[in-house]
Amino acid sequence: MSEVIRHEVIIITGPTAIGKTAVSIALARAIGAEIISADSRQVYIGLDIGTAKPSMSERGGVRHHLIDIVAPQSDFTVADFQRLAFEALDEIHRRGKRALIVGGTGLYVRALADRPSFQGQPPIPELRREILEEIARRGAQSLYDELARLDSEAASKIHPNNIPRLVRALEVIRATGRPFSEGVRTDRDRPDESDFLWRIIGLSMDREALYRRINQRVIDMIHQGWLDEVRDLLQSSATGNEKPLMGLGYKDVVDHIRGRQSLDSAIERIQRDTRRFAKRQLTYFRTLKGIQWIDLESPFDPFVVAGTILESL
């Protein structure tokens, strides 16, 4: 049997606003790597400021993958990410380059490092909570309509008011990219040994310092033109009911633009909800096997942190 060649891949994760982008670009430039985004919102075209998507100048000449690949109206699942990320990894390594995975979407990180098969799809608390929050905001009928569009057979067997079944069906569809009605099958018959050696680096920070960064970033996003970004989306093809526009931050901006709340109220709600989201992220990341934590000061030098990461490997 031939020896398996294992490519080392560094994963940089952590809560929102902690500085993952700056650190990863500094590290990528130091080791000549390319970056694969593991951010579930940066995949959407046109959602730039509100997702803290790095601009071309911020990327510093570092090639990025899985950014700006689908329209806000498109459905994009964890399984879609897993497939495209492994394709990007293969392409990067064929060209003799190194790869960094960077992002704060815990499900995406786990979809690579744990390579779940989705067979007998176990519950995914983060995804289930997301669906329940959407039901609270949009109503069960809106999510039932989504199920009918994605899997008409399953919808025909589930009553719109049967919330547990509705949530379960959408959870499986979003996680696997497959219809709930066909049952969950795996196409992952692969050796136990992975082709990749994962090094997961978690960035952390004093909680109050992180919260101050979050509060300031929301204000900075408003000054950078977040309202105009959302207006442009609404004036083009978006209705405001698309999944990414109903998510963290964007829903409050839409509500403000449509006169449903003041700008001050929108900012306060976004700051509060983002702080809560960061807390949930940290809780989730601490369940990842083998994660190495690096505590940051605020402010910090991303090149110094990049050096610390290299020393820790």
Each domain of the chain, given as residue ranges in start order, spans 7-115+191-223+280-312, 125-182
Q: Which CATH architecture has domain 125-182?
A: Orthogonal Bundle (1.10)
Angle at 23 between CA 18 and CA 25, to 5 degrees: 130
9: phi then psi, degrees, rounded to nearest 5: -125, 125
What are the counts of helices (DSSP H) followed by strands (DSSP E) for the chain?
A: 12, 6
Domain 7-115+191-223+280-312 fold is Rossmann fold (3.40.50)
Q: What is the mean pLDDT of residues 30-59?
A: 96
Q: Read off the pLDDT band of 182 (50, 70, 90).
A: confident
195 has a pLDDT exceeding 50: yes
* Dihedral sign for Cα atoms in the order 18, 47, 108, 255: positive
193 has a pLDDT exceeding 60: no
Q: What is the pLDDT of residue 160?
A: 86
8 A C-beta contact, residue 120 and residue 188: no
Specify burial of residue 247 (Cβ count, 10 A radius: 0-12, 13-18, 19+).
buried
Angle at 53 between CA 132 and CA 147, to 5 degrees: 30
pTM of the shown model: 0.80
User: Which one, of 166, 174, 194, 29, lies nearest residue 105 by Cα?
Assistant: 174
Q: Cα dihedral angle (204, 207, 209, 214), rounded to 10 degrees?
A: 90
User: Which one, of 223, 211, 229, 238, lies nearest residue 298 by Cα?
Assistant: 211
